[in-house]
Amino acid sequence: GGIITQTPKFLIGQEGQKLTLKCQQNFNHDTMYWYRQDSGKGLRLIYYSITENDLQKGDLSEGYDASREKKSSFSLTVTSAQKNEMAVFLCASSIDRVTGNTLYFGEGSRLIVV
Amino acid sequence: GDSVTQTEGQVALSEEDFLTIHCNYSASGYPALFWYVQYPGEGPQFLFRASRDKEKGSSRGFEATYDKGTTSFHLRKASVQESDSAVYYCALGDGMGYKLTFGTGTSLLVDP
């Protein structure tokens, strides 16, 4: 088995600040994802990466940057934190296209903007 | 674009009740369909999937049947337990095998 580790578990920042969330996986999976979870809105895809140094925009990429410098890690940066984007951010990975979209998730990081 | 609709935001049941959570999708072709479950403080976990018409997916007593005619993948369980209390997400896979589009989730609360 493997695990996805997200750090920090809680990220507190001020409005306008640039904030970064980190994700590590030891599944040796090719594809990694960042989803945003808001109550009543489900999970919405921000960015995903098919392989190292690849980045693909999801439906909610505006206001975010992402980086995949190693196969095992995927980071997400909120470029200018706003109070209306306080949410839980979920990192996930999947092995490859053959298994068809089965994702493994981390426990989430909660963003708090003060 | 592709979308998933879960009509129930919250469901409250008693132990041993029958559960149905409705999921309808909008997409072309035969997208893979999934159910995920999320317990408090944890990330969503894969429950099961189906990828062709009339295929049944199942796990832990939950099941759903892919219905292309009604574009549905409703989650059912014959007898729920308190430990089933969680948020359930229906999801749809893109044709390339990379992206999942999730519904808004259904919060299930089971009273003992």
Q: What is the DSSP string of chain A?
A: ---EEEE-SEEEE-TT--EEEEEEE-S--SEEEEEEEETTTEEEEEEEESSTT--EE-TT-TTEEEEEEETTEEEEEESS--GGG--EEEEEEE--GGG-S--EE---EEEEE-
Residue among B6, B9, B43 whose CB faces A106 most closely: B43
Q: From the CA of B37, how many Å to the nearest CA of chain A?
A: 11
What pLDDT shows up at residue B81?
A: 98
Per residue in A61-107, pLDDT (tens digit) is: 999 999 999 999 999 999 999 988 889 999 999 976 655 678 999 99
A109 has a pLDDT exceeding 90: yes
A112 has a pLDDT exceeding 80: yes
What pLDDT shows up at residue A96?
A: 65
- pLDDT-derived band at B99 (thresholds 50, 70, 90) equals confident
Q: Is A57's Cβ below 8 Å from some Cβ in B?
A: no
Per residue in A9-38, pLDDT (tens digit) is: 999 999 999 999 999 999 999 999 999 999
